[in-house]
Amino acid sequence: MPGVPVSGAEDHQQTYAESVTTHTASSAEPGNRRILLVEDEQTIADVVRDYLLKAGFQVDMAGDGFSALKVAAARRPDLVILDRMLPGLDGVEVCRRLRQTMSVPVIMVTALGTEDDRILGLEVGADDYVTKPFSPRELVLRVKSVLRRSIKEFTPEPPVEAAGLELDPASRTVGHRGVPLSLTVREFDLLAFLMRRPNQVFSREDLIKAVWGWDFGDLSTVTVHVRRLREKIEANPTKPELLKTVWGVGYRFDDSSEGKKADHGGQ
Ligand code: CA
């Protein structure tokens, strides 16, 4: 297996490349799961890599944005941990570019910053984020949680159809009147959860627990995902007919709009 060419000629970058080939998982379960860790601060990168290896993952590493894209294309990781602040191409731009070619789940790592920073990551398609300083153990739990949801279940739930949307958990595909839609992992999970429980109202707290598996968390994560989902499934995202806001309470999926909905533009 050839080492992944990682740009940057410094010695520590060599170490990154070596770690790609020499460190493989020993324990059974996540052993064939490959994580791409994009982090330019080597002390952090080393610590996180060790935790991931201990948890049984295979780990590829990149120290800047451009090599992250190269390694992702070469290694087809199952998940990307992406630092927000990177030399060259920052994490937001890397995520945006990854999204153009892959549906790989992304966990964005942001500096302890403003809410806008975190939301920007979600807007460009990150599935989750953690805030620095973070506990590596928590990050590994997040990785497992995102992967659990992105990997096909052994006994997948049956497909569900409502209001012109067809969602199939087995293949993790969604279509609208036959036109395939491209959803991120969490968008898919959120839509699946709500479609299975039509016309029930869920608060953002409910959704963050049920869909993200977090006991607590930034509720704007839900808001951002709902907005992105609406852009993909609604004929007019500013006047949603499917994913409705119930003011002061939360959201519900309305399956009564079948037939009266205008044809979707097909995005
Ligand atoms: Ca950084």
pLDDT at 127 over 80: yes
CA distance 209 to 129: 15
Cut 0.75: pTM above it: no
Q: CB–CB of 14/36 below 8 Å? A: no
Please give the pLDDT value at position 263: 44
The domain segmentation of the chain, as residue ranges, is 10-150, 160-253
Q: CB–CB of 89/64 below 8 Å? A: yes
pLDDT at 69 over 90: yes
Q: pLDDT class for 99, splitting at 50, 70, 90?
A: confident
N-term to C-term CA, the chain: 39
pLDDT at 152 over 70: no
Please give the pLDDT value at position 80: 97
pLDDT at 174 over 90: yes
Q: pLDDT class for 82, splitting at 50, 70, 90?
A: very high
Residue range 87-110: mean pLDDT, rounded: 90
With residue 31 as reference, give the H or E element that holds it: none
Distance 147 CA to ligand 1 centre (A): 24
Distance 214 CA to ligand 1 centre (A): 25
Please give the pLDDT value at position 18: 35
Residue range 213-218: mean pLDDT, rounded: 75
Distance 61 CA to ligand 1 centre (A): 13
Distance 87 CA to ligand 1 centre (A): 8
Residue range 169-193: mean pLDDT, rounded: 90
Distance 41 CA to ligand 1 centre (A): 6
Residue 50 three-state SS: helix
Sign of CA dihedral 184, 201, 168, 155: positive
Distance 94 CA to ligand 1 centre (A): 13
Distance 88 CA to ligand 1 centre (A): 11
Distance 43 CA to ligand 1 centre (A): 11
Distance 55 CA to ligand 1 centre (A): 23
pLDDT at 113 over 80: no
Distance 24 CA to ligand 1 centre (A): 25
CA distance 159 to 223: 25
Please give the pLDDT value at position 155: 58
Distance 64 CA to ligand 1 centre (A): 9
172's CB contacts (< 8 A; 6+ apart) are 150, 152, 188
Distance 266 CA to ligand 1 centre (A): 37
Each residue of 251-267: pLDDT tens digit? 999 988 654 444 444 43
- Output 210 or 243, whichever has higher pLDDT: 243
Each residue of 31-62: pLDDT tens digit? 679 999 999 999 999 999 999 999 999 999 99
CA distance 185 to 125: 9
Please give the pLDDT value at position 61: 96
CA neighbor of 83 nearest in space, from 67, 169, 73: 67
Please give the pLDDT value at position 151: 63
Domain 10-150 has CATH 3.40.50.620: no
With residue 220 as reference, give the H or E element that holds it: helix 220-233
Distance 182 CA to ligand 1 centre (A): 29
Distance 36 CA to ligand 1 centre (A): 15
Distance 81 CA to ligand 1 centre (A): 12
Please give the pLDDT value at position 172: 85
Domain boundaries 160-253, corresponding CATH code: 1.10.10.10
Length of the chain (residues): 267
Residue 23 three-state SS: coil
